[in-house]
Amino acid sequence: MSVRLADRLIGWVERAAGGFLAVVTALTFVTVVLRYGFSTSIPDSYDLSRNLLGILIFWGIAVTGFRGEHITVDLVWGALPPRGRRALDLASTLFTLGCMSVFAWAMGTKVVGTMASGETTYDLNLPLWPFYSLAWAGLALSVPLLLVRLLRQLRDPAEPHEAAPTISH
């Protein structure tokens, strides 16, 4: 995968995750206003918001996995020499890639099972499998994004913690 194509894919995934966040936020806001201001609600707002939140989380996993911006504990990493840090970074990315691959496969089987079962939401009887499919797509995208991260780590030996941009005042 070329660098330009990988960067376009990453940008697209980030925009999609941001879009899902905007939808969840808007749905929550409108639901609260309707509930407390007008004593009514959007049908299936709970089911919609929890499924959209799941989608948001899984797409966010793809982005944070690529960026390496997830929660980390650098106690061991900080005590290692530069070569040890690089090895630990590579090992952790490889481990995350393996875990996300298995997770994406398991979620794919869940999507197929949900599609076969015909599960729907309570009020509007919307099928759940499209929501599960969108969530799975985020997990599935995490695999190539983590692969790109691993290849970039192998190609560029700069330590990711030190290569991060700094804010100057």
Q: How confident is the model at residue 1 (pLDDT cuts 50, 70, 90)?
A: low
- DSSP H helix total and E strand total for the chain: 6, 0
Taking the C-alpha atoms of residue 29 and residue 2, their distance in angstroms, rounded to an integer, is 41
Answer whether residue 168 shows pLDDT above 80. Answer: no
Q: For position 129, what pLDDT does the model report?
A: 95
Is the pTM higher than 0.85? The answer reads no
Q: What is the pLDDT of residue 157?
A: 65
Phi, psi (deg, nearest 5) at residue 120: -135, 170
Give yes or no for a contact between 30 and 42, defined as CB atoms under 8 angstroms apart: yes
Helix axes 129-155, 3-38, angle to 10 degrees: 140
Q: Is the Cβ–Cβ distance between 55 and 134 less than 8 Å?
A: yes
pLDDT recorded at residue 33: 94
Residue-level pLDDT at 126: 93
Q: What is the pLDDT of residues 81-139, one digit of tens each?
A: 989 888 888 998 999 999 999 999 999 999 999 999 999 988 899 999 999 999 999 99
Give me the residue spans of the domains in the chain. Answer: 3-160
- For residue 90 the two structure tokens come to 């590579």
Do residues 143 and 93 lie in contact, with contact meaning Cβ atoms separated by under 8 Å? Answer: no
Angstrom distance (rounded) from CA 63 to CA 146: 9
pLDDT at residue 167 is higher than 50: no
Does residue 162 register a pLDDT over 60?
A: no
Helix/strand/coil for 157: coil
At 27-85, the pLDDT tens digits run 999 999 999 999 998 898 889 989 999 998 998 888 888 877 666 667 788 888 989 88
d(CA 113, CA 79) in angstroms, rounded, equals 46
- Three-state DSSP at 127 gives strand
Distance CA 24, CA 57 (A): 11
